[in-house]
A and B are shown apart, each in its own frame.
Chain A
């Protein structure tokens, strides 16, 4: 186990190093770092001071170390638009994105697993066929277009839910979130559903496949022969076996959801870091772009590491095949 974790850790460190090199060369070798980190309207004295501070007058390998040291120290320049450190700006927007992402994951589990289990339990019923047809639509519909149509139907035509913003924030246990006020929940409903749509379909299909695979197995027949109720067979015995692939996929999807939040946040004007990066690209606010890249890469490496380790805890076969060569 510890060998596995050490191997995965060193792998992650290597990826992080390669990524930092790529970002560095993207910024420093292809682009002009002076233009990237110093605003166009800075005067000559300010430019020279910034060049010295960033070490841009040094040889390139030394510049990389400066870049690394600055990044580790959390200093990646100030946002041109907001005039606060880029990292702080992103960390300020991070909770909104995480809130949206976790609500979306919650919705995909809350809808996906029951619907998928039903579709797999009675695959020939009309309801099951409707569920499967809808899940194909969930895969094929472009997220951004569904978001617009949701605004059109629920916000413009029916007027039930607000179309943009995060609403009032409530504080509970020291955490600020839209989840704790009614107004906030109303604002959260459409974006969270929009972001969850693809994953609901995914979980439905996975659960249905697992259900259909497991129902004819011997252990189910045995459990029935023991005289267990159908409810206990389905919700205890079968469900446990379905959960392994579903949990893994959901873990990996958290990363996907955070990335796709860019689209949903732009449509619903949700003040998260996805909207921030699109605004920064449009405003040429480059320090923010660089900081976003580094933070998101770091986040993905951590998520992948955690999912891999958890998976090896859940399913010992993975660990054995990796170290037993």
Chain B
């Protein structure tokens, strides 16, 4: 059993003990793969106007269009197949959330490491900024930025980065402060290794577990926030496929009982967010040294 003891194997074995989390992980991978492959697997391209027919609009779930395409989840006001529209929308959500997540993690890690390593006034200045940033709600910051700069995919990524970096910075600083005082860092300093090497090759890898947990939760949060902003009409422009915009369009018809345009994209959003959160919860338990056997 000696080969079982690599950290990654141990991590996988730990993770698999919780069946719900494994199910959530499988579900998430399936949704992610389907969204990324939407151009190949969805019944139609819902954002190619030539493929749409307004006569097919507001079809209830299970009905077929005039060309024989079955709308399993119904169609929206413009005759878009909801299955296809949801897959395209999810792809946009993932792209926006993952891109902004990576940039925010990079910025936050740099800030957190700098604060922990240099300490003193650098630490005070950076962490006060983080405190002030975190005292304003995420949706408010996003609203302010988008009101000043206007809509657009790039702008929403910027807004999400501005919202998220502080969470990463705080997490990295907390674990880097602990690592910094450990003997291996002292040893590396005695060997006169360059600071850059100590920071990025010695301290950073040991700060990764909490960073991964925060990253998972933050991706779920930014998917929800992007959908909310798009729903309010300040996020993605109408030309982009987005779950929030789909739900907003369905809002017009909801009072006449046409529920499926708003309902199914919301369910897709919910299933995605819950599966990410369940995986995140399990990761937190597995990666937390205090809970390790």
Within 114-150 of B, Cβ neighbours of A (below 8 Å) are at 132, 135-137, 139-140, 143-144, 146-149
Bound: A188/B97 CA distance, A:
34
A15 touches B254 (CB 8 A): no
- If over half of B's interface residues share one DSSP class (helix, strand or loop), that class is named, otherwise mixed; here it is helix
A142 touches B137 (CB 8 A): no
Q: Which of A30, A143, A145 has the most CB of B within 10 A?
A: A145
A148 touches B137 (CB 8 A): no
Least CB separation from B145: chain A residue: A26
Least CB separation from B267: chain A residue: A145
Q: Does B191 contact A (CB under 8 A)?
A: no
- Residues in B with CB closer than 8 Å to A266 are 232
- If over half of A's interface residues share one DSSP class (helix, strand or loop), that class is named, otherwise mixed; here it is helix
A229 shortest CB reach to chain B, Å? 36
B259 touches A152 (CB 8 A): yes
- The bracket for how many chain B residues form the interface is 35 or more
Bound: A64/B269 CA distance, A:
44
A142 touches B269 (CB 8 A): yes
B148 touches A142 (CB 8 A): no
A14 shortest CB reach to chain B, Å? 9
B262 touches A139 (CB 8 A): no
Q: Does A293 contact B (CB under 8 A)?
A: yes
Binding site for A on B (CB under 8 A): 132, 135-137, 139-140, 143-144, 146-149, 220, 224, 227-228, 231-234, 244, 247, 250-251, 254-255, 257, 259, 262-263, 266, 269-270, 273-274, 277
Binding site for B on A (CB under 8 A): 15, 26-27, 30-31, 136-137, 139-145, 148-149, 151-152, 155-157, 163, 255-256, 259-260, 262-263, 266-267, 277-278, 281-282, 289, 293, 296-297, 300, 304
Q: A140-B274, A142-B266, A148-B247 are in contact. List 18 more A-B contacts (CB 8 A).
A: A15-B132, A140-B277, A142-B224, A143-B228, A144-B227, A145-B247, A148-B262, A149-B266, A151-B254, A151-B255, A163-B255, A259-B136, A259-B137, A259-B139, A267-B251, A281-B147, A293-B147, A300-B135
